[in-house]
Structure 1
Amino acid sequence: MGNCFYKYRQLAARENSTEIHPFTLSIIQKGEMWFSSPVNFNDPFDGMINYPDEMTMTDLEKFCKRMSGLGLDTQGVLNGYNKSPRQLSTVYSVIKQKLMQDSKLKIYCLSRNPLDILMWAHYAASHTGICIGFKTYQLDERAFGIKVHENCVSSKLLEPDVSNILIPIPVTYTSKVPGKYDFGRGPSEALQEAFLNKAIEWQYEQECRIVTTDDTLLENPVRIDVNEIEELIFGLRASPLLVEQVKDIVSKSPYKQPGPKLYQCQRIPGTYALEKVLLSL
């Protein structure tokens, strides 16, 4: 395993393209980390919330009070519940969809494993892509983070006394859906918890996530110094032309030389496994 937090990305803008994908280029050239809405995540169970089977009107009033800033017709929800208290699933689905469609929740997904063959297949364009390794900073015996520019995120998302370190939290892989929704907490907190738990079938991803909301992101993308990129690992099918383009980018300012370590994946003979081989500039 590597010592970085890794981001799998496609390298080519399109299949057989001679240009680097613009989102990948924005990371390598500008240090831009774009946080995404989970609306289009590929796992329909991602973000599942286990709502209670029953609620009181007081519970619903608390819930709606917290939702009032999202433009939801909270009075309409209360009136609808009065008419048909059994339609809880409709109330919940409307509220969750409102949160997600309005892109209130933002997530940045990373992995601790740069050599997983399924990750390369699913998230790096069938091994033609790249895996970007961000340097880690150890804050204590368990917490590791990524250094970002100051004033990109609210202090609410940062560790006390650490003004520019974001901490990706390991996803928990489980066969159990997270516990019942607590009406005393905000919907965004419930969604954050839900998006830090995934079905056990996904455990090969070794995923870590930074889960936040619009009000804590002062900028999107969040910016890092490109010299916080520790490694660039090319897929075993990566285009040699695009590899050379990346080499050229990291050989120049603002990169401090010798720049990030560059690797190419290759098969380990006789196994279904990968290893990374160091490249020269």
Structure 2
Amino acid sequence: MTQNIYRYLSLNTEKHLEWFLGYLEGQAYFSSPLNFNDPFEMGATISPPSIEALMIAIPEVHGNYLSKNNQRKVAENVHSKFKSDPQKVVSEERMQNIGVMCLSEDKNNKLMWSHYADSHRGICIGFSTEYPPFSLAKKVIYSNQRPEVPFARSDTLSAEVIGKILLTKSLDWEYEKEWRIIKRKLSENEKLFYKESLNKNSDSIDDIVDLLANHDGPGLYNFNESSIKSIYFGSRIDENNKKTILSRVNKLPFKIKIFQCEIDRRYFLINFNKINKNDK
């Protein structure tokens, strides 16, 4: 089902304002999880391999010179070490190859306005999930337990595993009602596979070119500006920033609903007052 999801942004520097104006031109930045404020990000651990699985793997590593009894001792020792010292699934090097955009299903969250929109001096922009990449956004799952990923001897992480790692956060963050879009950098083997597919079937050129262009980890990506549905000015927004943004919005060939946030005089509420597109 199509819905709107929102991104809170600061405007406290010229660079931040420039980044926001980039959204109006159909450009969005996907950041590495290394830059996130939660130290538990990408903290999934590898679940201990079973002793039986290790018994199968040991001869492949050490050869067949170990007796069955010694193989079991080695397997039990490795299993015990995994349990006592869980290993992280994703290294910093791998995190550098993953780009993420964080959004929320809630535009009226006082804590989000404070934490991510520079204490209400920033802005919130709403996107429709009707259009990519927002149609690919996934809900974050909140849990008291860090995710575990089954042990595997492959260096390649599947999209499913990356999703599990990136879409699980502590219950402490549940108030954010977060959604995420993930841009995983394709491995060289994956790129080679798609290029070979292109040589075999040129009819799929558009799909493959689009796939290669939209899976390159952190960085700027283009999107359809029509996915922008609304803009909310923080209650403390700088008037010069507001004028700059309104001037740019007035030149756009598509419609965006614009609101000014105001603090309610009686209750702990944020009110949204709609303003005309051509207000300056």
TM-score relative to the length of structure 1? 0.70
Which residue does the alignment assign to 2:264?
Answer: 268
Q: CA deviation at 1:212?
A: 3.1
Is the aligned partner of 1:207 residue 2:204? no
Q: CA deviation at 1:231?
A: 0.4
Residue from 166, 173, 177 that aligns with 2:146: 177
Structure 1 unpaired stretches of 5+: 63-80, 138-145, 149-164
Which residue does the alignment assign to 1:71?
Answer: none
Q: CA deviation at 1:246?
A: 0.6
1:187 counterpart SS class: coil
Which residue does the alignment assign to 2:132?
Answer: 147
> Is the contact made by 1:129 and 1:238 (CA closer than 8 Å) also made in structure 2?
yes
Deviations 1:211-259 (A, max 9, x none): 231125614422123232110101100011111111100111xx225x2
Aligned-pair identity (%)? 26
Provide the C-alpha distance between the structure 1 equivalents of 2:91 and 2:220, rounded to a whole number of angstroms: 24
Q: CA deviation at 1:20?
A: 5.7
Provide the C-alpha distance between the structure 2 equivalents of 1:266 and 1:206, rounded to a whole number of angstroms: 22
5 Å matches for 1:97-176?
Answer: 97-100=92-95, 103-137=96-130, 146-147=131-132, 166-176=135-145
Provide the C-alpha distance between the structure 2 equivalents of 1:265 and 1:244, rounded to a whole number of angstroms: 15
Which residue does the alignment assign to 1:10?
Answer: 10
Q: CA deviation at 1:57?
A: 7.8
Residue from 245, 252, 256 that aligns with 2:253: 256
2:115 counterpart SS class: helix
> Is the contact made by 2:49 and 2:150 (CA closer than 8 Å) also made in structure 1?
no
> Is the contact made by 2:121 and 2:237 (CA closer than 8 Å) also made in structure 1?
yes
User: How many residues are matched?
Assistant: 227
TM-score relative to the length of structure 2? 0.70
Deviations 1:75-104 (A, max 9, x none): xxxxxx99x95765889449522312xx12
Q: CA deviation at 1:270?
A: 2.4
Which residue does the alignment assign to 2:198?
Answer: none
Change (3 A) 1:91 1:197: closer
Of the structure 1 ranges 243-252 and 5-14, higher mean CA displacement relative to structure 2 is found in 5-14
Which residue does the alignment assign to 1:26?
Answer: 22
Provide the C-alpha distance between the structure 1 equivalents of 2:226 and 2:245, rounded to a whole number of angstroms: 14
Structure number with greater Rg is: 2
Query: After the TM superposition, which parts of structure 1 deviate over 3 Å for at least 4 consecutive aligned residues?
Result: 57-62, 84-95
Between Structure 1 and Structure 2, which shows a larger proportion of helix residues?
2
> Is the contact made by 2:9 and 2:116 (CA closer than 8 Å) also made in structure 1?
yes
